[in-house]
Amino acid sequence: MQMVVSPAGEIRCLYDETIDLHTLGKVSISRGSFVEPNEHGQWIADLEPVQGPKLGPFDKRSDALAAEVVWLQEHWLSRSD
């Protein structure tokens, strides 16, 4: 799990269950994207919740999820809001 710690001590990461984040303090979890099928049965990763683009279409949901993670790591994780 990749984590970014701000000078104020706030931690930003892509949530997974590698570690129990509650052991680090107060946790605030928010959605980074929506991965949904389109009308053709292909998958779109919509990163609008973090002011990002729509990625896809992808034939497999797993490909959309992988693209979502890459985009969030490259563009959102280290961004300071």
What's the pLDDT tens digit per position in 26-79?
A: 999 999 999 999 999 999 999 999 999 999 999 999 999 999 999 999 999 987
Residue 38: the pLDDT is: 97
Burial bucket for residue 75 (CB in 10 Å: 0-12, 13-18, 19+): middle
Strand order in the sheet with 43-46: 34-37, 43-46, 54-58
Q: pTM (2 decimals)?
A: 0.85
CA 2/CA 4 separation, integer angstroms: 7
